[in-house]
Amino acid sequence: MTTTTTEKYTQIFTQIHENYGAHMWDGKGECPNHWKPKGGTTYILEDGVDVDAFIKAIESEDDYFTETVRHQQVVKDPYKNVESWDPPTWVTSAKDGFFLDTTQTPETSSLHPKIAVKKSVRCLSFEGYFNHLDTVYTTVDGEILGSSKIEAWLKANPSR
């Protein structure tokens, strides 16, 4: 008897709010509140990622910024309900937390006309701390540029 397993993915949609009242706050007394929604992030967790631990790590709240989960669901198609203009962040398990991988293209972001892909990888600890690992850019000519080379490349390749 042959058994097959269907891969499943957990989609997590978050909402970010920024407190505009905190920008002028001197840190004394109660922080003024003027919260504005600032979009959110679509996370796609690969099968095997601890969903509860990820939610605990990603949700945050302080006087300046909040990110909260507004919806989650398990799907077979990881791109179901994902807008084409909003690149999802893929989440896999790591030893001390999670790897977060976001790939942007000209269709989803304002990139230099000669940049075809921008790929960023970060690590999120179980405690909610981010560590940026690297960003890699691929040009339309196939050249791959690390974050240490992109500034010089942009100077040599003005967009106008």
pTM attached to this predicted model: 0.85
Residue with tokens 């605990």: 56
**Residue 160 and residue 150: Cα distance in Å, rounded?**
17
Task: Compute CA distances 140 → 28, 106, 150, whole Å.
Answer: 51, 11, 14
What tens digit of pLDDT does each residue of 58-106 get?
999 998 999 999 999 999 999 998 988 889 999 999 999 999 999 999 8
Q: What is the mean pLDDT of the chain?
A: 91
Q: What is the pLDDT of residue 84?
A: 83
Task: Compute CA distances 63 → 67, 70, 112, 126, whole Å.
Answer: 12, 20, 35, 21
Q: What is the pLDDT of residue 85?
A: 86
- Strand 65-75 with 60-61, pairing: antiparallel
What tens digit of pLDDT does each residue of 94-128 get?
999 999 999 999 888 888 999 999 999 999 999 99
Torsion of CA 111, 113, 115, 121, to 10 degrees: 0
Residue closest to 78 by CA, chosen among 44, 48, 104: 44
